[in-house]
Copies of this chain bind each other. A is one copy, B any other.
Amino acid sequence: MVKQAGFEVTTRARGTYLIDRQVQEIVAASGIDTGLCQVFVQHTSASLILCENADPQVRRDLEVFMTRLAPDGDPLFDHTQEGPDDMPAHVRTVLTQNGITLPVRRGRLALGTWQGLYLWEHRAQGHHRHLIVSVWD
């Protein structure tokens, strides 16, 4: 049976926010030992990534990579009425993922040693981001 719970992340600005702990709490509360867990973000300008969790420079380098690939104010884009960072935020979301599914083993997320689960806010300003976590066995 699928067990679902939601939570919210209030972002301060563009950047990555570690959400391992919140998701792990929902997995623990489910009582599921061996199964799967899906995390889903209900937005089109924020996404999820699994990323190296040791050196914060990795996430800063990802940010500058995305800035080179789809810079704010890119003259390529015509959808600009919500700001110069809006269309780049949609592009970044489409190139990463709204949902990530993770195996659950022995009641915990079976992440690799260096894998952290991050919410990536792609808008310049902070937002309230809604997430849904589903756990099943």
**Residues of A near any B CB (own CB < 8 A):** 1-2, 4, 34-36, 38, 40-45, 49-52, 55, 57-58, 60-62, 64-65, 68-70, 76-79, 81, 87, 90-91, 93-103, 105, 110-115, 130, 132, 134, 136-137
The smallest C-beta distance from A90 to any residue of chain B, in angstroms, reads 6
Residue picked from A41, A77, A94, A114, most chain B C-beta under 10 Å: A94
- Provide the residues of chain B in CB contact with A38, threshold 8 Å: 36, 101, 103
Which residue in chain B gives the minimum CB-CB distance to A54? B44
Instruction: Give me the 9 closest cross-chain CB pairs, A-B, nearest first.
Output: A42-B112, A57-B79, A44-B52, A103-B132, A2-B35, A61-B77, A50-B98, A61-B79, A58-B79
Contact B40 A64 (CB under 8 A): no
A36–B112 Cα distance when bound, in Å, is: 22
| Copies of this protein in the complex | 3
Taking A51-B94, A111-B42, A112-B43 as contacts, is the C-beta distance between A4 and B34 under 8 angstroms? yes
Contact A36 B105 (CB under 8 A): no
